[in-house]
Chains A and B, each alone.
Chain A
Amino acid sequence: MKFSSNLQENFDNFQNIFRDNCMIVFRYLENAYDTQLKAVAVFADGLVGASLVNDYVVKPFVANAQIYKQEDKLMFAKNSVLQSNDIVIVTDYDDCIKRLFSGDVIFFLEGYDSPLAVNARFPATRSISEPENEKALKGPREGFCELILFNTALLMRRLKNDHLKLESFTLGNRTRTPVVMAYIEGVCHPDLVKQIRTQLKKINTDSITDTNQIAELLKAKPYSPFKTTGSTERPDVVANKLLEGRIAIIADGTPQVITVPFLFNEYFQSTDDYSINFYFGTVSRLLRYLSFLISLFLPALYVACVKFQHEILPEKLLYSISASRVSVPLSATMELVVFLLFFEIIREASTRTPSVIGQTLSIAGALILGQTAVEANFISVPAIIIVAISGLCSNVLPQMKGAMILLRFGILWLSSLIGIYGVILGGAAVIIHLADITVSQTSYLNEMLPSTKGAWMDIYIRGPYQFLKQKKDYLSKEN
């Protein structure tokens, strides 16, 4: 659609377009010194500040005594009448609509076929707060919010560097979501920047309302349960990732910022590791690796021991398990599958319900399901312990929760078929799959087998800060 130089025509066109949108306001204006000089201000109620519209657009235009004398009234209005810090002449209709919904006032002037977009944005968003899902014991408490401007500002405040690049994209044919690709020039590999830029430009979808959609569209192996893009709500984490040579993608409307590439070892890293003494950081990290193994393999190992390889069990443990299973009607596999599912249901229910009820729900779930199931001989005590430990361990790595649930059931199934060989087969399959993933021309397990001296200092352990390499060799060539 093209704009007309006839104000009435533009006015009618816009009224027609937004006839069913009650939040679009049309303000008809006349200059007090020349009533023939007319204008229309169009804005979205709620996205602009009412006083800002009055102060930036209405008052200056109506009360201006000079504008009617000017030859180029539009340029005069842009440069000398309207008060906003950001005024642009819009020639493209799509751009005009995008700006209207971003909180600009579209100012049509009689006799001109290009309106002005006047920034009178009044961002309605929640204040910056600590992310609920990524609480840190120590360190910064700030988290991203839903407004991209705030999010980029939080990032810029941490990286006061002229090499910080923030490239803008608009994704989603209908949502026209502003998306920013952030990286540090000279730290991030140019090929990686080029690749992600190309991938972002290629995205052709109607809507982008969350960064997770972008993450899935960028995913190297779409059907893999493992993530290849990191996700965080913490600006300090994003700043560190950028310093390592990664790219951050920020989208308007979501506090989740994704970082690419995301490698397997990043599941086991946490912000807290760097806020505490490196001994404790190392212990925490090793515990995370241990939790991953326990969560993935413990139910399968239990089934293998109970159904196939009893010889592995020490005498007393064998007696104890045998005694507890004497009256249980379900097979070892079935009781684990059923109760792992119950566990996931309880967890899902307590996540979805308000926090106070959620706590009650989890306690009730644990007590009622666990204790009464044991008393009713529906499940054995060792199985309850296995489910509880395994579930608890999966909570240590919240980012890998989905993958762990899926793989746990897979390995459990293999184990119930062929015992300990199934556990080994499942483990091997997971390793082969992980080794097969390539993220931005980097192997997913790249950091798990460090080739350079000292690189392991931040992988299996959290080494002292002076030994940590900020910049990753495989992500950067230039300094």
Chain B
Amino acid sequence: MKRIFNIFALCLFSAWCLLLCGCSVQKEIGNQAVITGLYLDYSLPAQQFEIAAEIADFKGYEKNSSLSTKWVSAGGQTLSEALFRLQKNVPQTIYFSHAKILILGPGFQAVSPQHTISFFLNYNGINSDILLCTSNANKEELTSIKKQNFSTEIYDALQLGNRKSSQLYRLFNSQKNFWLLPEISILENEACKISTSVFINGIYAKTLQNRQELIYLLSTQGIQNQHYSTENFDLFIKEGKSAVQDDQNRLLITCRLMAEISDTHGIIHAEQLTREAENQLKQKLTAQAVSFYNELKEDGKLKLFFNETYSQEPEFQFDITIMKSQFQKEESDS
């Protein structure tokens, strides 16, 4: 009797396992359309989502050859509908988990992408560490790119630039009121230029160019471990913080930086290195800060970036400490 009960219990447990964990969800790896990257855009006039997926084609893929890919696209009134139609356009089951980047199209400059991020974060199968970026290219421009495995190339470039902060789950869990997303511009020769777009409170604010990102971060939250080049020096900024002093007479933004010299261009006497690097860094940063401020002022976006109670023109002051680096020690020894 006990044996019969044991066999019955085992059968019941096995059936339970089958139901819960399921052979119904089995999917052979060879029958999957592996997506390497996603593009998403929203057309405000048509109120329609446009989705494009870069799908890996494994035929002919060998160890040393690069992966060939193709773009497949679909549209829909909702994101679910767009994804459903995308699946209809692909013979195999779409597999999202290895998708590396999610590119938001220019439509999201007009509409907040917050709901989209939330949707993908909860969407079964999408990795929450997918990198989010923006692009000014529309779907047609992107899908007509002849370059194979475009998403992986972009992903690798973003990884090199240490853009992990734009991962989906990091953005969603971020306590900050702004997001800095990498922005990809597709050039005529199909190469890419990566800049940074700023979303404040979920709304697109501005695309930052040429180290404006550094000035912005420095004046808002501080920076760490950044490379910066001046006329004669490659510098490594270890840490930078800012403080705002708002008197009746003047608005002073003081930035304190600790940096060290990585390399020099041109011949400078060893004793003058530190002073010269300090001067060059101070001059360049001040010029960039003033230029950035003026640009924001011209665009009428000052309030988005700086506290609106600031009524006066800010004065930027940089206190720079150049620490003795390994490079300088070697120079002085020689």
Contact = CB atoms under 8 A, between A and B. Distances in A.
B29 A321 contact: yes
Contacts of B98: 310-311, 315, 318
A310 B34 CA distance: 10
Contacts of B26: 307-308, 419
Given A318-B29, A319-B67, A417-B18, 15 more contacts: A307-B27, A307-B28, A310-B27, A310-B29, A310-B32, A310-B97, A315-B100, A319-B34, A320-B63, A322-B29, A322-B61, A325-B28, A326-B30, A331-B28, A417-B17
Complex A-B, nearest 3 residue pairs according to Cβ-Cβ distance, in ascending order: A325-B30, A323-B61, A323-B58
The listed residue with most B CB atoms (<10 A of its CB), out of A328, A332, A418, is A418
Contact of B97 (A311, A325, A332, A418): A311
Contacts, number: 69
Given A322-B30, A322-B34, A308 B25 contact: yes
A305 B29 CA distance: 8
B142 to A, nearest CB: 21
A7 interface: no
A18 interface: no
A465 interface: no
Nearest to B17: A418
B172 interface: no
A418 B62 contact: no
B21 A319 contact: no
A142 to B, nearest CB: 47
A217 interface: no
Interface in A415-456: 417-419, 421-422, 425
A306 interface: yes
Contact of A332 (B29, B56, B62): B29
B266 interface: no
B59 interface: yes
Nearest to A326: B58
Contacts of A310: 27, 29, 32, 95, 97-98
27 contacts: A307-B27, A307-B28, A307-B29, A308-B26, A310-B29, A310-B32, A310-B95, A311-B127, A315-B100, A319-B34, A319-B56, A319-B67, A320-B63, A321-B29, A322-B29, A322-B61, A323-B59, A323-B61, A323-B62, A328-B30, A417-B17, A417-B18, A418-B17, A419-B22, A421-B17, A421-B20, A422-B21
A319 B61 contact: yes
Nearest to B25: A308
A322 B63 contact: no
Contacts of B25: 308
A319 B62 CA distance: 9
B270 interface: no
B23 interface: yes
A310 B99 CA distance: 12
A79 to B, nearest CB: 63
A326 B59 contact: yes
Interface string B21-52: 11101111110101000000000000000000
Nearest to A310: B29
A445 B48 CA distance: 64
Contacts of B34: 318-319, 322
Interface of A: 305-308, 310-311, 315, 318-323, 325-326, 328, 331-332, 417-419, 421-422, 425
Interface residues of B, number: 26
A319 B127 CA distance: 17
Nearest to A380: B30
Contacts of B100: 315
A157 to B, nearest CB: 49
Nearest to B29: A306
B126 to A, nearest CB: 11
Contacts of A319: 34, 56, 58, 61, 67
Interface in B61-109: 61-63, 67, 95, 97-98, 100
Contacts of B59: 323, 326
A308 B27 contact: yes
B20 to A, nearest CB: 8
Contacts of A417: 17-18, 23
B256 to A, nearest CB: 41
Contacts of A321: 29
Of B20, B28, B56, chain A has the most CB atoms within 10 Å of the CB of: B28
Contacts of A418: 17-18, 21-23
A417 B14 CA distance: 10
A323 B61 CA distance: 6
Contacts of B127: 311
Nearest to B95: A310
A408 B22 CA distance: 20
B152 to A, nearest CB: 8
B21 A322 contact: no
Interface string B95-137: 1011010000000000000000000000000010000000000
A318 B21 CA distance: 22
A315 B67 CA distance: 12
A417 B18 CA distance: 7
Contacts of B32: 310, 322
A155 B312 CA distance: 101
A425 B29 CA distance: 23
A332 B63 contact: no
Nearest to B56: A319
Contacts of B63: 320
A334 to B, nearest CB: 11
Contacts of A315: 98, 100
Nearest to B62: A323
B74 to A, nearest CB: 23
A415 to B, nearest CB: 10
B91 to A, nearest CB: 13
Interface in B180-224: none
Contacts of B97: 310-311
A345 B281 CA distance: 74
A254 B95 CA distance: 60
B26 to A, nearest CB: 5
A326 B97 CA distance: 19
Contacts of A328: 30
A307 B25 CA distance: 9
Nearest to B23: A417
Nearest to B58: A323
